[in-house]
Amino acid sequence: MENHDSFVLHGNIIYTPDKNKFISLKDGWMVVEKGKIISVSAEKPASAAGLPIKDCKGKLIMPGFADLHLHAPQFIQIGMGMDYKLLDWLDGYTFKEEPKFADPDYARQIYPIFVDEMTACGTTSSAIFATIHKESTDILCDILAQKGVRAYVGKVNMDTNSAPALTEETAKSLQDTEAFIEKWQNHPLVRPIITPRFVPSVTADMMTGLGKLAEKYQVPVQSHLSENPGEIQLVKELFPQDKYYMSVYDRFGLFGQTPTLMAHCIHLSAEEIAIMAGKNVYAVHCPASNLNLTSGLMPLRKLLDAGVKVVMGSDIGGGHTLYMPHEIVRAIEISKIRSIEHPEEKALRLSEAFYLATKAGGEFFGQTGSLETGYSADFLITDVPDFQQGRTVEEQLQYFIYHGTAQDIREVYVNGLSVKN
């Protein structure tokens, strides 16, 4: 990683150092050296002397987005079968799509389209479920690495209660997972993450093995938690000795023993929320998916107030968009709906939702997701239409988040390098 450009950006800079406020600089300056942000300032700093200037006047410069939950193989089934409930949808689409990735050529055909689109949408960091297939998962990692974006990728584990074509032999699954970890654990951008699909589709033996791998290699974990009432009931029946759904993961070393992402976290008691807050577990809020699959309205404010780390995910194909501003808007909308019946749960402000989708999520990858000194230079440059040039930078961002599309994103940088086609 020696070839990072050093340069200075000059444009409208905006980011959220904490969730309660935007910092914005009209015609500000950002110095990037060897992939890191050196300074952000209103006036041109001395350190900019001699560096090439990238003129972004009239454009917005903001952190790249972090998408902490998504299923790459479901990219091509986006929006399909949304009239069905979860189980029929899984049977009708997901469990027909995912087996296709047994064929590496299929992965070579589909995954590049997915990675191109995710990057064009401004996502610079992601945590991805692939499929159970090791070879296709390696291919996905290769494509991400070549693109130069930041990602945690999981070879999915499933050895029970699953469609036959997606049911693994436990020992082989663990063996493949270990080989996958060893192959990718030292890559600078694309790293392995342990990925039991969710409690109902893994045996106790599988979870025991995965917990050991997490500990041995100190790799993070991702899975699903409390997405819908039927799923929660099923977990209760499968593991009656565990007090809560999360207790199952916890007992096997898959709940914060290493950094852990738990998608959805909708139906949680106050006690469960308190347990989560005390652990290194991130709740991944997936607004579009929660609506599309009638999963429910996540009590985001409650989790934040309790001190749970909350981040955002697109959850394609339960969600239908890789463009994180759509998820930012929906997170706000869902919180507004909740605030009607639960006035104590104050609606999310834009700065908060933006923070969740940038700095909060970026934290999972180290110092990324903000435009502060020492952070990785992972950022976007977006167009601002002529008729919005008179607005404040914060208003320009509001317009971009609510009205923008991937086509408004001109450039995407990771570690100071351009990654958009």
Return the residues of window 346-365 that contact a copy of itself according to CB under 8 A.
Answer: 347, 349-350
Q: Does 86 bind a copy of itself (CB under 8 A)?
A: no
Among 339, 342, 383, 417, indicate the residue that binds a copy of itself (CB under 8 A). 339
Q: Three-state SS for 15?
A: strand
Dihedral sign, Cα of residue 142, residue 126, residue 41, residue 387: positive
Binding flag, residue 399, a copy of itself (CB under 8 A): yes
Q: Tell whether residue 20 is a contact of a copy of itself (CB under 8 A).
A: no
Residue in 167, 388, 411, 417 binding a copy of itself, rule: CB under 8 A: 388
Tell me the closest approach of the beta carbon of residue 293 to a copy of itself, in angstroms.
Answer: 8
Q: Which residues on neighbouring strands pair with residue 9, listed in sequence order?
A: 30, 54
Positions 98 through 157 that interact with a copy of itself (CB under 8 A):
109-110, 113
Our finding on whether 398 is near a copy of itself (CB under 8 A) is yes
Please report whether residue 80 would count as binding a copy of itself according to CB under 8 A.
yes
| Residue 7 binds to a copy of itself (criterion: CB under 8 A) | no
Q: Which of 17, 79, 188, 230 binds a copy of itself (CB under 8 A)?
A: 79
Shortest distance, CB of residue 210 to a copy of itself, whole angstroms?
32
Express the helix, strand and coil content of the chain in percent, nearest 5 each: 45, 25, 35
All residues at 6 or more sequence positions from 241 whose CB lies less than 8 Å from its CB, including other chains = none
Residues ≥6 apart with Cβ < 8 Å to 355: 16, 18, 19
Sheet holding 260-264, edge to edge: 221-225, 260-264, 281-285, 309-312
Cα separation, 107 vs 129, in Å, equals 13
Q: Is 2 in the site for a copy of itself (CB under 8 A)?
A: no
Residue 387 touching a copy of itself (CB under 8 A):
yes
Burial 224-247 (b: 16+ CB within 10 A, else e): bbbbbeebbebbeebbeebebbbb
Q: Which is nearer to a copy of itself, 320 or 420 (CB)?
A: 320
* 232 lines the binding site for a copy of itself (CB under 8 A): no
Which of 81, 86, 187, 212 lies at the binding interface for a copy of itself (CB under 8 A)? 81
Q: Contacting a copy of itself (CB under 8 A), which of 18, 55, 182, 395?
A: 395
- Shortest Cβ 41–a copy of itself spacing (Å): 27
Site string for a copy of itself, 44-63 (x = CB under 8 A): --------------------
Cα torsion 197, 198, 200, 202: sign: positive
For 389, residues 6+ apart whose C-beta sits below 8 A from its C-beta are 58
Q: How far apart are CA 337 and CA 206, in angstroms?
A: 39
What are the start-end ranges of the H helices in 121-218?
Answer: 134-147, 170-184, 204-217
Interacting residues with a copy of itself between 314 and 333 (CB under 8 A):
320-321, 329, 332-333
Which of 119, 142, 40, 157 is CA-nearest to residue 412? 119
Closer residue to a copy of itself, CB minimum distance, 2 or 83:
83
H/E segment holding residue 319 = none
Return the residues of window 267-296 that contact a copy of itself according to CB under 8 A: 288, 291-292, 294, 296
Rounded Cα–Cα distance for residues 194 and 357 (Å): 22
User: What is the binding site for a copy of itself (CB under 8 A)?
Assistant: 76, 78-83, 109-110, 113, 288, 291-292, 294, 296-297, 320-321, 329, 332-333, 336-337, 339-340, 347, 349-350, 385, 387-388, 391, 395, 398-403, 405-407
